[in-house]
Structures are given as C-alpha cells and as structure tokens.
Structure 1
C-alpha cells in the first residue's frame, strides 16, 4: 500500500517538473532576445508560446531568430557595407594626407639643400 502512494507521489512530481521544465525551455529564445535588446522581443515571446502548443516545432527557428540580432551591429547585413564605405573614405583621406606630407618633405629637402649650398659659399668668402 505504501509503495502505491509513493509511486503516485513520484509520478505527480515527475509530471510537474516536466511541465515546468518545458515551459522554461520554451522561453529561452525570448530571454536571449531580451538580453540582446532585440527589436522583436514580443513577437519572439508569442511565437514561443505558439511553439509550446505545436510541440516545439518552431523552437529551433526561434532560437536562430533571437540570436541573429546584436545591439552593437544590428542584423549584420547592411552595417558591413556601411563600415566598408567608411573605411574606404578614411583610407582616401589618409592617402591625401600622406601625399601632402610627401610634397612638403620634398620641398623642405630641396629648400634645405639650397640653404646648405648658400652656407658653404658664405663660409668660403
């Protein structure tokens, strides 16, 4: 008789733990989205509940959807091109600065050669 009640308690305990475990697992993509400041957190949360009723068929896709977005780079598609264009502009600006410094250095070197020649003529006199 005691083992019957003990088995019933264990069965109820396992069912309750599995129920709460499944609910906790379905919420993981939403928690990821919250942590990453995802712009579609609410949609992920609702889709997680829908996935719960469809036996978690959608859950892997929700995981991917939640992890695609990062706050520092967004979705990562358009920002790469924008960053490359910014870097290209910086390279052009640095090339122009380098060209200006080279011309200035050449003018200083040619001016310095003339100055040293003038000094050596002055010393001969």
Structure 2
C-alpha cells in the first residue's frame, strides 16, 4: 500500500516539475531579450506565451528573434565602424579641413 502512495506522489511530483519546466523554457527568449536590452521585449514575451499555447511550435523562431539584436551592434552581424557616429564625425571634420585648405590654396593662386 505504501508503494502505491509513493508512486502516486512521485507521479504528481514529476507532473509538476514537467509543467513548471515547460513554463520556464518558454520564457528563455524573453530573458535573453531583457539581457540584451532588445527593443521588442514585450512582443517576444507575448509571442512566448502564444508559443506555449501552440506547444512551442513558434519557440525556435522567437529564440532566433531574441538573439538577433545586441545593444552594442544593433541588428547587424558584425560591428561596422564606418557607420558609427564618431567615425562619421571624424571623417566629416577631415573632409572639411581638406576642403578649406584647397579653397585657401585656390585663393592664393588667384591673388598671385
């Protein structure tokens, strides 16, 4: 009789662990999005709940969506220095100084 109750308790315990395990697994993309400061955190969280209702069919796509964005480099797959604001400001300052030097040289040629 004791083994029957032990088996029933073990079955209930395993069912609860599986139930909460599935809920924890569905929330992994949202946790990734929060960690990466993803701009679509709320949408990823909602999609995770929808995926839970659809037996996690959408979960791999939500995980990919959460992994695509990183705060330091945005949606790109590599850091592109030529598009950063600081690099563009440096390049603009260089070109302006070069243009000013050419204008000064042309003005000197006209005067002499």
The answer to whether TM tops 0.5 is: yes
- Deviation string for 1:69-107 (max 9, x for gaps)? 010111117x74625xx47x74xx49x98xx9xxxxxxx
Partner of 1:20: 20
Q: Secondary structure at the match of 1:76?
A: coil
Which runs of structure 1 show a deviation greater than 6 angstroms over 4 or more consecutive aligned residues? Answer: none
Question: How well do the aligned residues superpose, as a CA RMSD in angstroms?
Answer: 3.0
More helix by share: 1
d(CA) in 2 for partners of 1:32, 1:82: 26
- Deviation string for 1:3-37 (max 9, x for gaps)? 11000000000000000000000000000000000
d(CA) in 1 for partners of 2:73, 2:7: 53
What TM-score, normalized to structure 2? 0.72
Partner of 1:82: 83
Matched, 1:61 2:65: no
Matched, 1:5 2:2: no
